[in-house]
Structure 1
Amino acid sequence: MAHRIITQVFVTGARVFGRAFAEAYRHASATQKYQAAMGTSGTGANTFTSSGLTLDEACKILNVGPPKGGEANMEQVMERFKRLYDLNDPKKGGSFYLQSKILRARERIELEVKEASEAKAREEELREGWKPKVYKDR
């Protein structure tokens, strides 16, 4: 009689575990397909896209125009950042969540400008050609 109860518990547990495993696999598969369709990776290589903050959202948060040709008015961005960041200080009754969104928005705009300037420098180097500095030993 006891062996029958133990067998039933084991079989029931195996079914529950199997169903949970199958559901987890379906969820992981759906997530992978969604990320492939959206063009993002789940590796966290680009923390800004993994956090879901786009350049357009960052510009709206700080109320600045998007960088044109990879160049933005960083003084205006920093001015708006400092003002909004101080207004949302939790010690003054603000929101830590909004403060973090404002910080991420500034970082996103800075990243965009940095990547554009690096790409511009690479293009300029390719156009001019690579000219290494040669040092002669005496």
Structure 2
Amino acid sequence: MVSFSSPKVIVQIAIAGAQILGRAFAAAGRQAIQNAKSTPANAIGSDVAGVSNATSGSLTDKLTREHRMTLDEARLILNLKKEDSAERILEHYQHLFKANSPPPAPAKPAAAPKGGRQPPPLAHSHYLQSKVVRARERLEAEAKAGEQPAAEASPTTPPPPSSAPPPETGGKSN
């Protein structure tokens, strides 16, 4: 019978495990180097919500680059649908802004509850609050752009050529 408690077997298992772990780390390192070489340097963390895809000269793409947020992302942040009204946008904005605001400072220290434990302070997030504000601004900019009359939105174009011949001057030429 073979005894598995011998120190030689334990050392062999430890060495085999270390070799396997070393090979895995080496392969992960090689893959990380390969990924770093194939990823453009300016693409790391710079694309916010598809902003780099907004390359056309359209008004929507211009607003996406300016606000660094797509229209879809703004709707997701405020939990809105495409057909929601301006009043609904404002309701969602106010609710989310208030939910992520820091609590007002208490006027006087509150008495400790009977259990001796204080309730945890309400959580707030300046980051989320700023995302909510930026989402509202993006939606408002899109709405303002949609309200522009067609004459203001596009440059003036010459009138189409008429198919009628030009009028004659009435005099005969010789």
Structure number with bigger Rg: 2
